[in-house]
Amino acid sequence: MAETLAASRCPRGRRLVVPPASRCPDHPVRMAAAGVAPLGEVVSFTTLHSPPEGFRAPLHIALVELEGGARLFCHGDETEGVKIGSHVSVEAVDAIVYFSHMGFADRARLFWRRAGARGERRASIGKSVVKGMWSRRSRGND
């Protein structure tokens, strides 16, 4: 997994944006430089069948929410198997960010890192199981 993505944070509202921007959209202040891990969840995605000039069809576009709340647009090779809430890693190639599915090992590593100290791991595992059951249940309603 790659290094951090360049981002900006508003000193007043704490909003984090990617790519970096000089001004906050909510406050008339200059944003400070920040970095975010290139890992996140899919907020939504679409496949454009007649993309604008300069893009090949089908064009897979996803909106991904990174850790810390910044959202960014990404391209992908496919959306097969992608769901809202899917864990993805993102990587910038020639100024365009691409998303890709995280493998099991990546997800496990991420989970372990997030879980933090050993004492909290048990609670995290519990939370994860509940979350999994819940998302499976709500998906059934779609």
Partner 1 sequence: MGDEDSQPGEVTLARPPGGVGPYARTGTELSGRADRDPPSPAGRGAHAPHANTLPRGPEAGWKGYVNDVWIGGAGMTRFGRRDEKLPDLMAEAALAAMADAGIDRPDAVVVAAMNPEEFTGEGNYGSLIATRLGLSHVPALRVETATSSGVAAVYMAFAAIAAGLHRSVLVVGGEKMTHLATPRVSEIIGRSIDPHEKSYGTTMPALAGLVTRAAMHRRGLTLREISQVAVKNHAHGARNPYAHFRDPVTLEAVMESRLVADPLRLYHCCPISDGGAALLLTVERRAVRIAGIGQGGDTLAVRYRRDLTSFRATQAAAAAAYRMAGFGAERVDVAEVHDAFTPFELISLEDTGLVPPGKAGRATLDGETAIGGRLPVNTSGGLKARGHPLAATGISQLVELCWQLTGRAEGRQVEAHVGLAQSIGGLATNNWVTLLEGRR
Check if the beta carbon of residue 99 is closer than 8 Å to that of residue 86: no
Written as six digits, the tokens of 131 are 């979350």
- Amino acid identity of residue 101, one-letter, is H
52 scored as a contact of partner 1 (CB under 8 A): yes
63 scored as a contact of partner 1 (CB under 8 A): yes
22 scored as a contact of partner 1 (CB under 8 A): no
54 scored as a contact of partner 1 (CB under 8 A): yes
Check if the beta carbon of residue 42 is closer than 8 Å to that of residue 82: yes
Q: Residue 84 or residue 115: which is nearer to partner 1 going by CB?
A: 84
13 scored as a contact of partner 1 (CB under 8 A): yes
Residues pairing with 16 in the sheet = 9
- Site pattern 76..115 for partner 1 (x: CB under 8 A): ---x----x-----------x-------------------
Q: How many other C-beta atoms are found inside a 10 Å radius of the C-beta of residue 37? A: 17
Burial of residue 65 (CB within 10 Å: 0-12, 13-18, 19+) is middle
Q: Which residues bind partner 1 (CB under 8 A)?
A: 12-15, 17-19, 25-29, 43-55, 59, 61, 63, 70-75, 79, 84, 96, 141-142
